[in-house]
């Protein structure tokens, strides 16, 4: 039987141990609508349920600890209250036939003393301040605070925090977890030579710089089994202009992914280019990265319908993740299937607020007025 390429984008497959109904993933999207303690309100249940026709939902980045929090109103997955708030979300997605993994997040230096326990300094591989702006609970934006370099003997405690979060995610009924190692957050800060100036066994050589991220991913895999653990990378992303790239991203991320390839993970998920910028698959050899990894690959960053169809049909990727299109189009899968027009999401309601711009986008059936 000859399959059309479109049939391939909409055909089921298996990613690690997770069976997905199609090749379209919902990319992780921070929406900043949890309460001050990182506990979701019931609105999140509706938001994710509406999008459950995605083959795989990857949740918004979710804090693994209070220390790992850098943006007000982002959810957590480290207390009983967090688990109780996430469970109805995973139930709703499963009832609608979907699959959902939790993106595990520690922001490292991208935080502010106002968001930390007792006004503590954020932690990072090295005491180098980030230049990006972050949102505080007051709604004001501020530059991240000067971070404190982690002591070597603090590393096991953070690994424990990741394990606790992984256990909480299991208790909350997720299908797996995605370790956030992209976008210049803690794990990425260890990997890049611009943000890691350590002289202990977690800094210097590539082996040393990738040690902590690999330890985190291995620790989480102990809880879930590696075939329910994915990893997200963004080798070309600068954070708000000020963080230089690694001095040799191809070599650095190639080395990192070679280590990841040995762990038997469910998937590698790459943001191809500057996050939310142009897809820059040509500026970096992502194909070489998949080959080194040797497992399933999820491609992301400004993919159009045509690019996604081609990526799957050609075997370039096993899934394509869409971010912004899923904000404005809860029924994105159906719209892509029918080649129907997409609703532009409203940028003003990306972060914070309530139902407006969150759960009130219409499906095709609702928006077609005849």
* Residues tagged active-site: 185
What number of CA atoms fall less than 13 Å from residue 251's CA on the CB side? 8
H helices of the chain, in order, are 5-9, 43-50, 80-95, 155-171, 186-191, 206-209, 211-224, 249-261, 286-293, 305-313, 324-328, 332-338, 364-367
Rg, Å, the chain Cα set: 19
Q: Check residue 181 for interaction with ligand FMN (CB under 6 A).
A: no
Q: Check residue 271 for interaction with ligand FMN (CB under 6 A).
A: yes
Exactly one of 126, 252, 301, 359 binds ligand FMN (CB under 6 A); which one?
Answer: 301
Question: How would DSSP label each residue in 113-136?
Answer: GGGSGGGPPPEESSS----S-EE-
Q: Check residue 272 for interaction with ligand FMN (CB under 6 A).
A: no
Helix, coil or strand: residue 142: strand
CA distance 113 to 111: 7
Q: Check residue 221 for interaction with ligand FMN (CB under 6 A).
A: no
Judged by beta carbon, residue 121 or residue 351, the one nearer ligand FMN is 351
Kindly tell me the number of DSSP H helices and DSSP E strands found in the chain: 13, 14
Exactly one of 193, 316, 350, 363 binds ligand FMN (CB under 6 A); which one?
Answer: 350
Judged by beta carbon, residue 28 or residue 176, the one nearer ligand FMN is 28
Q: Using CB under 6 A as the criterion, what x/- string covers residues 25-44 for binding ligand FMN?
A: --xxxx--------------
Judged by beta carbon, residue 30 or residue 243, the one nearer ligand FMN is 30
Pairing of strands 134-135, 141-142: antiparallel
Residue 219 Cβ vs ligand FMN, minimum distance, rounded to whole Å:
20
CA distance 1 to 335: 26
Tokens describing residue 105: 């997040």
CB 289, CB 270: distance < 8 Å:
yes
Exactly one of 275, 329, 343, 359 binds ligand FMN (CB under 6 A); which one?
Answer: 275
Region binding ligand FMN by CB under 6 A among candidate stretches 122-130, 247-255, 289-297, 319-327:
319-327
Q: Check residue 177 for interaction with ligand FMN (CB under 6 A).
A: no
Phi, psi of 322 (to 5 degrees): -115, 135
Judged by beta carbon, residue 10 or residue 203, the one nearer ligand FMN is 10
Exactly one of 300, 329, 343, 359 binds ligand FMN (CB under 6 A); which one?
Answer: 300
Q: Check residue 299 for interaction with ligand FMN (CB under 6 A).
A: no
Binding site for ligand FMN (CB under 6 A): 27-30, 60-61, 103, 180, 182-183, 232, 271, 275-276, 300-303, 322-325, 350
């Amino acid at each position: 039987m000859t399959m059309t390429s479109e049939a391939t984008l909409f055909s089921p497959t298996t990613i690690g141990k997770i069976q997905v109904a199609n090749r379209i993933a919902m990319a992780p999207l921070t929406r900043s609508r949890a309460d001050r303690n990182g506990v979701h309100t019931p609105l999140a249940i509706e938001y994710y349920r509406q999008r459950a026709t995605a083959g795989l939902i990857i949740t918004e980045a979710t804090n693994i600890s209070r220390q790992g929090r850098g943006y007000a109103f982002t959810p957590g997955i480290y207390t009983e209250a967090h688990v109780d708030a996430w469970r109805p979300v995973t139930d709703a997605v499963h009832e609608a036939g979907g699959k959902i993994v939790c993106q595990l997040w520690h922001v490292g230096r991208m935080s502010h003393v106002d968001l930390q326990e007792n006004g503590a300094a954020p932690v990072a591989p090295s005491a180098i301040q980030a230049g990006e702006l972050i949102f505080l609970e007051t709604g004001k934006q501020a530059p991240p605070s000067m971070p404190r370099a982690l002591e070597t003997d603090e590393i096991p405690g953070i690994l424990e925090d990741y394990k606790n979060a992984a256990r909480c995610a299991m208790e909350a009924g997720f299908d797996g977890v995605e370790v956030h190692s992209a976008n210049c957050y803690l794990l990425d800060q260890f990997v890049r030579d611009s943000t890691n100036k350590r002289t202990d066994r977690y800094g210097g050589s590539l082996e040393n710089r990738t040690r902590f991220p690999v330890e985190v991913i291995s620790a989480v895999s102990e809880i879930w089994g590696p075939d329910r653990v994915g990893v997200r990378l963004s080798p070309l992303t600068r954070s708000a202009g000020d963080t230089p790239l690694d001095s040799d991203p191809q070599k650095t991320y190639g080395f990192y992914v070679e280590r990841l390839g040995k762990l038997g993970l469910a998937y590698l998920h790459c943001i191809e280019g500057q996050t939310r910028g142009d897809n820059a698959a040509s500026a970096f050899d992502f194909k070489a990265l998949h080959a080194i990894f040797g497992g399933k690959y999820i491609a992301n960053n400004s993919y159009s319908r045509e690019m996604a169809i081609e990526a799957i049909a050609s075997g370039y990727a096993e899934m394509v993740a869409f971010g912004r299109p899923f904000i404005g189009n809860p029924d994105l899968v159906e719209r892509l299937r029918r080649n129907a027009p997409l609703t532009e999401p409203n940028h003003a309601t990306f972060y914070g607020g309530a139902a407006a711009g969150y759960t009130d986008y219409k499906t095709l059936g609702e928006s077609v007025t005849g």
